[in-house]
Amino acid sequence: MKETANKIKELQKPTIVFLTIIYAMMYILWRIFFTLPKNWGKLSLILGAVLIVCELLTIVEALLHFYNAYKVSVPEKPELTDDLFPEVDVFIPTHSESPELLFKTINACQKMSYPNQAKVSIYLCDDGNRIEMEELAERMGIRYFASKEAKHAKAGNLNYGIERTKAPYLVFFDSDMIPTRNFLVETIPYFFIPRMIKEKEHWRIRTTDDEAYEGKEIGYLQTRQAFYNPDLFQNNLSLKEEITNDQDYFHREVNVARMNLNGVMFAGTNGIFSRKALSEVGGFSTHSITEDLATSIEVLATQNYQGLAIDKELAHGLAPTTAKGLINQRKRWGQGAAQSIVRFDFLKKKLSLKTKFAFSMTYIYWWTFLRRLVFIMSPMVAALFKLHIADIEFWELIIIVLPWLAFYDYSLKKMSRRRQNAFHSALTDTVLFPYLIIPMITATLKLSNKTFKVTPKIMNDKRNSSFIYALPHIFLLFLSFLSASIYAHDVFIEHNFRAIILLWWVIYNGILLLNAVIFYYGKRESVEDQLMKISVNLPLWMDCEERHIQTERMGESYLTIKNEGRLPDNLRLEIDNGERKFLIEIEKSDMQINNEVVLFEIANLNEEDRRDYFDFLYNRPTTLPQKNSISLIKDLRIIALIIVTFTVSKINKVVTQFAVLFNQKKGMSGEQ
C-alpha cells in the first residue's frame, strides 16, 4: 500500500503539469480564435487583444515554472571529514544600520559551528566609515574594513573587503540577517561535489581511477531567505496565520527549480561564493543596482561554473516594516533586473540558451505589475465606455472559463506546495503595481540611473501607516463600484447574463483593491506582535526552589508566560543555549495582553548573557506559516472583522472623548 501511494505521489506532479499544459493551450486558443471582439470596433478589438496577450504571458510564465519545478533535482550534500573543511571569510556589509542590529548578526556569525574555528574570519564592511561601527567590531573581536571612497554602493563595499582577504570561500550576510549555528557545515560541503564521490553510502575524494566528474564547478550557493518578523502583507492585512512570507515562493520553489536551467539567482545574502569564481569576473558587478543578479549572470557567463539553491532555513532576517521601504526595495529589484538583462548585452553573453531563458523570465516577471493594471482596468473601461473586451456566452463562462480558473489555482497550489495561490499572487501584485510600472519602463528605456538605497530595517510599535500610497487604489475602487453598478443593471434589469463574468470580475478586483487600501492604512504592532512564537519549558527559580513554567512567546526585551495561577512580579529563569546555562531576571510588565498569558520584561543583561540569550532566541526555525491557507472567502471574513474592529475603535474613541469633555464641563460648573 505504501509503495503504491508513493508511486501515485510521484506521478502527481507530472500529471498536473501535463494536464495544465493541455488545458492552457485549449483555453488560450479558444480565447484567440473565438472570443476576440472583432465586430465591435477598433477600440474593443485592441483592448481585447491586449487582455489576451496579458493572459498568455501569465499562463506561459506559470507553465514554464510548473514544467521546470516538477523534475527539480537537488544534489546530495557530501560528508566531509573535519580536515577537509576549508578557510572561509564572512562578510557583513553595512551602510547606515544601527549598532544594535549589527550586534545580533555579528554575534550569530561568531556562534556558527565549524570544525576549526581558526579557519573562520569575520569582517564588518562599512562604507559609511562610522566610528561606532569600528568600535563595535573591535569590541566583538572581528576585523573592520572602511573604504575612504565609498564607490559603487554595496558592490564596491564588498569588493573592497574581498580584495584584502584570501580564504577560498566567501560568505555574505546582510546587516539584519542572523545565521543559525549550522550554516557553514550545511553549505560548505556542496562546493566539494566535483571533488568527491559517494561509494557504499560513504563519501571520499575522487581519484584518477574514478569516473570523471562531468558537471561544472560550484560557483556559488544560495540558501533560502527567511524572516523572524511578519512581513507587511501578513501584518497589515491580519494574515499572519494564513499566508507565507512574500519571498517564500521564490526562494523555496522558483530559485531551487532554476537549477534545472543553471539559472540560479544569487540573492545578495545568506549565500556563498567561490573566490575563484568571483575573481574570474573581477568581483561583484558594479554596473547594476542589483549587484547580486548581475554577478550571478557574469559568473555563469564564464561557462565554468554552476549555481546551486537549497531550500534550507539557515538564516533569518528582518522583513521591511514600512510601505515606503518595501516599494523602494521592489523598485530597485525591478530596475536592477532591467539593467542587467536589457542594458548590458545580456543576449550576447556566453550563456547557454536555457540559462538565458531563465534570466529572461526574471525580467518578464517584473512586467507582472503592468499586466495587473490591465486585468484591473479592462472590465472598468469596458463598462464606462461601452466597449466589448470578449465575445463570451454565458454557457462558455460556465464550462470553459470558470473550470480553467479553478484548475489553474489548484495547479498553482500543488506545484508550489501550497506556498502560493492565485488569490495571494493577485493580492501582492495589486498592492504594489501602481509604483512599479513606471520605474520598469524608465529602466528598460535607459531613462533611469537609480542609485542604491538601503531598505530601512527597524521594528517599532507605531502604526506603519502610509495611507497616501493608497490614493490610486481608492480611485480604482471607486471606478470598480461604478462598473459593478453598470454590470448589475445589465444582469438584473436587462437580463444580459453574459455580463455576469464582468460583474464578478469587477467585484473580485474591488476586493483586491480594498485589501490594498487596508494594507496602506497600516496596523499598529502590539508588543505581542513583536514576539516570536517560542513555546519552551524553562526552569524557574522562586523562593530558592526550582519549578518550571511554559513560555508562549519570546523576544529580545519581553516574553509571555502561560497564566497558570498567581506569579510573583519578579522571577529568575534559567536559559540553556547549548553552550552554557545562565539566569535572566524578568519583571512583570504594566502592559498586559490578555488573561491567558502574563507579559514580563527582561531586565538588562550583561554582554555575555545577552550574546547567549540572542543565540538561544534566534538559533531556531521561524514560527511563521510555511504554507498558505488564504482564500477569497476567508479574506472576506477577515476584511469584515477589520472593518468592524476599526469602526468599534473609532466609536470608543469618540465616546471616550465625549465623556472626558462632559466631565470637564461638569467639573467647571461645579466649581462655579
Each residue of 270-286: pLDDT tens digit? Answer: 999 999 999 999 999 99
Question: Is residue 656 one of the residues assigned to a domain?
Answer: no
Please report, for the domain that includes residue 205, its CATH number. Answer: 3.90.550.10
Q: Are residues 61 and 153 in the same domain?
A: no
pLDDT at 174 over 70: yes
Q: How confident is the model at residue 549 (pLDDT cuts 50, 70, 90)?
A: confident
pLDDT at 127 over 80: yes
Please report, for the domain that includes residue 597, its CATH number. Answer: 2.40.10.220
Rounded Cα distance, 293 and 74, in Å = 21
Q: How confident is the model at residue 73 (pLDDT cuts 50, 70, 90)?
A: confident
- Amino acid 595: pLDDT: 78
pLDDT at 15 over 60: yes
**The domain boundary residue, chosen from 365, 398, 426:** 365
Rounded Cα distance, 435 and 427, in Å = 15
Rounded Cα distance, 632 and 409, in Å = 12
Q: What percent of the chain has pLDDT over 90?
A: 62
> What's at 576, amino acid-wise?
D
Q: If DSSP codes are grouped into helix, strand and coil, which group holds residue 546? A: strand
Q: How confident is the model at residue 655 (pLDDT cuts 50, 70, 90)?
A: low
Cβ 501 vs Cβ 388: under 8 Å: no
More confident call, 648 vs 574: 574
**The domain boundary residue, chosen from 477, 493, 521:** 521
Question: Is residue 131 one of the residues assigned to a domain?
Answer: yes
Helix axes 353-365, 291-301, angle to 10 degrees: 170
Question: Is residue 96 one of the residues assigned to a domain?
Answer: yes
Mean pLDDT of 153-168: 95
**The domain boundary residue, chosen from 570, 598, 618:** 618
Q: Are residues 360 and 371 in the same domain?
A: no
pLDDT at 287 over 70: yes
- Amino acid 671: pLDDT: 56
Beta strands in 555-653 (DSSP E): 558-562, 570-576, 581-588, 597-602
Q: Are residues 350 and 408 in the same domain?
A: no
Q: Copy the grid coordinates of residue 537.
A: 519549558
More confident call, 404 vs 223: 223
Q: What is the DSSP string of 223-267?
A: EPPEESS--HHHHHTT-TTTS--TTHHIIIIIHHHGGGGT-PPP-
pLDDT at 374 over 60: yes
Q: Copy the grid coordinates of residue 317.
A: 532576517
Q: If DSSP codes are grouped into helix, strand and coil, which group holds residue 490? A: helix
Spatial CA neighbour of 91 closest among 125, 119, 62: 125
Ranges 135-149, 179-193, 439-453, most confident: 179-193
262: number of Cβ within 10 Å: 20
Q: How confident is the model at residue 453 (pLDDT cuts 50, 70, 90)?
A: low
Q: Are residues 417 and 474 in the same domain?
A: yes
Q: Are residues 94 and 161 in the same domain?
A: yes
Question: Is residue 399 one of the residues assigned to a domain?
Answer: yes
- Amino acid 150: pLDDT: 72
Rounded Cα distance, 442 and 102, in Å = 35
pLDDT at 594 over 90: no
Each residue of 238-263: pLDDT tens digit? Answer: 888 888 999 999 999 999 999 999 99
Q: How confident is the model at residue 548 (pLDDT cuts 50, 70, 90)?
A: confident
Mean pLDDT of 212-239: 93
Q: Are strands 597-602 and 88-94 parallel, antiparallel or unpaired?
A: unpaired
Q: If DSSP codes are grouped into helix, strand and coil, which group holds residue 77? A: coil
Rounded Cα distance, 143 and 406, in Å = 56
Cβ 579 vs Cβ 612: under 8 Å: yes
The Cα-based distances of 391 to 31, 35, 488, 502 in angstroms read 9, 5, 18, 12
The three-point CA angle 646-628-74 to 5° equals 150
- Amino acid 342: pLDDT: 79
Q: How confident is the model at residue 415 (pLDDT cuts 50, 70, 90)?
A: confident
Q: Are residues 354 and 384 in the same domain?
A: no
Q: Are residues 509 and 542 in the same domain?
A: no
More confident call, 652 vs 42: 42
Mean pLDDT of 441-467: 69
pLDDT at 672 over 60: no
User: What kind and span of H or E run contains 547?
Assistant: strand 545-554
Rounded Cα distance, 112 and 124, in Å = 16
Question: Is residue 453 one of the residues assigned to a domain?
Answer: no
**Choice among 55-69, 93-107, 125-139 with the minimum mean pLDDT:** 55-69
Question: Is residue 278 one of the residues assigned to a domain?
Answer: yes
Beta bridge partners of 203: 198
Spatial CA neighbour of 427 closest among 336, 361, 518: 518
Task: Report DSSP state, residue 529.
Answer: G
Q: What is the DSSP string of 304-359?
A: SEEEEEE----EEE----SHHHHHHHHHHHHHHHHIIIIITTGGGSS--HHHHHHH
Rounded Cα distance, 88 and 476, in Å = 53
Rounded Cα distance, 65 and 103, in Å = 39
Rounded Cα distance, 80 and 71, in Å = 28
Report the first-to-last Cα separation within the chain, whole angstroms: 89
Cα 151 → chain centroid: 28
Q: Copy the grid coordinates of residue 480.
A: 470598480
Question: Is residue 511 one of the residues assigned to a domain?
Answer: yes
Residue 545 backbone phi and psi in degrees, to 5: -125, 140
Each residue of 474-533: pLDDT tens digit? Answer: 999 999 999 999 999 999 999 888 888 899 999 999 999 999 999 999 887 778 778 999
Rounded Cα distance, 230 and 250, in Å = 17
Q: Copy the grid coordinates of residue 116.
A: 576549526
**Choice among 84-98, 278-292, 297-311, 416-430 with the minimum mean pLDDT:** 416-430
pLDDT at 3 over 60: no
pLDDT at 657 over 70: no
**Choice among 68-72, 118-122, 189-193, 263-267 with the minimum mean pLDDT:** 68-72
- Amino acid 101: pLDDT: 96
Residue 551 neighbours by CB under 8 Å, 6+ apart: 534, 535, 536, 538, 559, 560, 561, 562
pLDDT at 565 over 80: no
Mean pLDDT of 125-131: 91
Q: Are residues 378 and 431 in the same domain?
A: yes
Q: How confident is the model at residue 662 (pLDDT cuts 50, 70, 90)?
A: low
Q: How confident is the model at residue 645 (pLDDT cuts 50, 70, 90)?
A: low
Q: Are residues 27 and 131 in the same domain?
A: no
pLDDT at 669 over 70: no
Ranges 10-24, 101-115, 517-531, most confident: 101-115
Work out the burial of residue 305: count CB atoms within 10 Å of its CB; fewer than 13 is exposed, 13-18 middle, 19 or more buried: buried
Q: Are residues 55 and 88 in the same domain?
A: no
Question: Is residue 12 one of the residues assigned to a domain?
Answer: yes
Q: Could you tell me the residue range of the domain that residue 179 belongs to? A: 82-313+324-365
Cα 65 → chain centroid: 18
Cβ 154 vs Cβ 75: under 8 Å: no
Rounded Cα distance, 107 and 584, in Å = 18
pTM of the model: 0.89
Number of domains in the chain: 3
Q: Are residues 379 and 484 in the same domain?
A: yes
Q: Are strands 545-554 and 558-562 parallel, antiparallel or unpaired?
A: antiparallel
Cβ 555 vs Cβ 535: under 8 Å: no
Q: How confident is the model at residue 634 (pLDDT cuts 50, 70, 90)?
A: low
Q: Are residues 154 and 294 in the same domain?
A: yes
Mean pLDDT of 649-665: 65
Rounded Cα distance, 225 and 313, in Å = 7
**Choice among 156-170, 204-218, 256-270, 632-646 with the minimum mean pLDDT:** 632-646
